[in-house]
């Protein structure tokens, strides 16, 4: 492993370094994914651009107009322990708590979890359920992109050359969504075999489904919405029969592979089970 370690103090400096060294440079945040890949020689960058010296990128902030803003360098542990996140968007606190171990959560950042673009990234399903947007800085300025469009394949994102993820924004309107993230893994510190986030907004009658999002992790090349299952629930009374049907549809939408963690068939069955469970909790008919 021979590389030059670069420590910009601002985002423009980081972008200038990325522009200068192009594909020979890699961004680093907490390093918990990157260093593993470098040590196994899966990647061999000539320059590592460490963002962690850039001040002001680890904030967690809520205001009623913009909603929740999280800096890309906010650690998973900070999300797990934030009373603000726990109060406004508890699904994100729960997802953070289910990611790896406390030691990893202290180093790992939200931006790194998303930019690593693992199909099983624990922070992605809950954020997509909450209609989060990625805040991206690049040579042409800052742009926002729906997070569900941010992932383009295993290990691949929509970030263009020289762009950096600087934060995540969760709309204030989603604070009324009852959302849960359930992770099914072989042990508490392993990657998900299946992860399911379900978010529901009930109508004023408290029974029928005004809005719903079902997001599946680890069962497709990217985190994916189970849109047919969502459509089957919209406007319906959210009872056990409707949930059983939607869970079945979601299982049919998943596109899992078999790997060391589980077979494709097992994953499909777990999508059915965990989608049903997540929807029941989100709908308030189970705990
Ligand atoms: C033992 C172990 C257990 C783990 N368990 C889990 C788990 O249960 N669930 C889970 O989801 N993950 C798990 N992980 C993976 C990892 O810890 C997380 O994905 C973590 O959030 C990555 O964040 P990081 O800051 O360390 O990213 P880094 O390793 O620094 O970066 C990851 C990737 O993102 C890019 N990147 C980072 N930040 C930015 C940015 N702001 N803009 C553009 N590109 C960027 C880097 O270039 C790199 O390609 C585990 C890892 C280990 C080692």
Q: What is the CATH number of the domain that holds 81?
A: 3.30.465.10
Backbone φ and ψ of 164, nearest 5°:
-135, 140
Distance between CA 271 and CA 262 in Å, rounded? Answer: 12
What was the pLDDT predicted at 175? 83
Domain limit, last residue, from 156, 173, 190: 173
Closest ligand 1 atom, residue 29 Cα: 30
Q: Looking at the structure, do residues 79 and 167 belong to the same domain, yes or no?
A: yes
Q: Looking at the structure, do residues 227 and 239 belong to the same domain, yes or no?
A: yes
Number of domains in the chain: 3
Q: Could you read off the pLDDT of 74-85 as tens digits, one per residue? A: 999 999 999 999
What was the pLDDT predicted at 202? 93
Q: Looking at the structure, do residues 13 and 109 belong to the same domain, yes or no?
A: no
Q: Looking at the structure, do residues 74 and 168 belong to the same domain, yes or no?
A: yes
User: Ligand 1 pocket: which residues have CB below 6 Å?
Assistant: 26-34, 36, 51, 72, 76, 99-100, 104, 107-109, 111-113, 115-116, 121-122, 159, 164-165, 189, 191
What was the pLDDT predicted at 234? 97
User: Which domain does 89 fall in, by range?
Assistant: 60-173
Residue 113 CA to ligand 1 center (angstroms) comes to 4
Q: Looking at the structure, do residues 264 and 192 belong to the same domain, yes or no?
A: yes
Residue 105 CA to ligand 1 center (angstroms) comes to 10
Closest ligand 1 atom, residue 34 Cα: 29
Question: Is residue 97, in this structure, part of any structural domain at all?
Answer: yes
What was the pLDDT predicted at 125? 98
231: how many CB neighbours lie within 10 A of its CB? Answer: 12
Question: Is residue 146, in this structure, part of any structural domain at all?
Answer: yes
Question: Is residue 287, in this structure, part of any structural domain at all?
Answer: no
What was the pLDDT predicted at 174? 86
pLDDT less than 70: residues of the chain: none
Tell me, rounded to whole angstroms, the distance of Cα 177 from its chain centroid: 17
Q: pTM of the predicted model, to two decimals?
A: 0.97
Question: Is residue 21, in this structure, part of any structural domain at all?
Answer: yes
What was the pLDDT predicted at 217? 98
Q: Looking at the structure, do residues 186 and 278 belong to the same domain, yes or no?
A: yes
Residue 79 CA to ligand 1 center (angstroms) comes to 15
What was the pLDDT predicted at 183? 98
Q: What is the CATH number of the domain that holds 10?
A: 3.30.43.10
Query: Please, which residues bridge with residue 146 across strands?
Result: 133
């Amino acid at each position: 492993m021979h590389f030059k370690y670069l420590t910009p103090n601002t985002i423009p400096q980081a972008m200038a370094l990325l522009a200068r060294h192009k594909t020979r440079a890699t961004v680093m945040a907490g390093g918990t994914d990157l260093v593993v890949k470098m040590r196994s020689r899966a990647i061999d960058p000539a320059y590592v651009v460490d963002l962690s010296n850039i001040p002001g990128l680890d904030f967690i902030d809520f205001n009623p107009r913009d909603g929740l803003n999280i800096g890309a360098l906010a650690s998973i542990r900070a999300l797990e322990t934030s009373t603000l996140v726990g109060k406004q968007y508890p699904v994100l606190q729960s997802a953070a708590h289910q990611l790896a171990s406390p030691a990893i959560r202290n180093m790992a950042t939200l931006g790194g979890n998303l930019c690593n673009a693992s199909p099983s990234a624990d922070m992605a399903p809950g954020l997509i359920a909450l209609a989060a947007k990625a805040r991206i800085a690049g040579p042409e300025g800052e742009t926002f992109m729906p997070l569900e469009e941010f992932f383009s394949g295993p290990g691949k994102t929509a970030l263009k050359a020289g762009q950096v993820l600087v934060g995540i924004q969760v709309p204030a309107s989603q604070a009324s969504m009852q959302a849960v993230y359930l992770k099914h893994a072989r042990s508490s510190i392993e990657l998900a075999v299946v992860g399911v986030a379900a978010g529901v907004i009930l109508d004023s009658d408290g029974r029928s489904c005004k809005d719903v999002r079902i997001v599946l992790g680890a069962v497709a090349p990217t985190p994916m919405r189970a849109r047919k299952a969502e459509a089957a629930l919209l406007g319906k009374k959210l009872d056990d029969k409707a949930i059983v049907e939607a869970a079945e549809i979601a299982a049919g939408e998943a596109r899992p592979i078999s790997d060391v963690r589980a077979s494709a068939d097992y994953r499909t069955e777990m999508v059915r089970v965990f989608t049903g469970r997540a929807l029941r909790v989100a709908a308030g008919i189970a705990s």
